Amino acid sequence: MTTHPVSNPSSKQNLIKKVQESVLNKWVNDPHRMDKRVLSLLILANASDVLENAFAPLSDKDYELALRRVNSLLSLEYETECLKEGTNAVMWAVFNFFK
């Protein structure tokens, strides 16, 4: 899928850094405790086929860890997640649409 490129290099680097930090340094195993914007960024970046580009500069060890953690998010049953108390059902429905 073709995506619109980020034309501002500084903004692009900030996004890449945010994605990398979120899966390597600030990871929480519970998606319901994650920052909703970061969770959305990860899932929608994957749906846009640009997530692996953000992981490309990582060492092999960090790359594998990042992919393993993202895959744990992608393997969730979004329809089940939206039924949990205190969740944003619309957000999970959007994730399910892009699955």
Tens-digit pLDDT profile for residues 18-74: 999 999 999 999 999 999 999 999 999 999 888 998 999 999 999 999 999 999 999
Residue in 40, 56, 46 with CA at minimum distance from that of residue 1: 46
Contacts of 55 (CB under 8 A, 6+ apart): 19, 20, 62, 63, 66, 67
| Cα distances (Å, whole numbers) of residue 15 to 11, 19, 23, 28, 84 | 6, 6, 13, 19, 29
Q: What is the CA radius of gyration of the chain?
A: 14
User: Rounded CA gap, 47 and 71, in Å?
Assistant: 12
Q: If 0-12 CB within 10 Å is exposed, 13-18 middle and 19+ buried, where does residue 78 land?
A: buried
Structure tokens at 57: 């500069």
Q: Which of 4-8, 37-41, 65-69, 91-95 has the lowest mean pLDDT?
A: 4-8
Confidence at residue 1, expressed as pLDDT on a 0 to 100 scale: 42
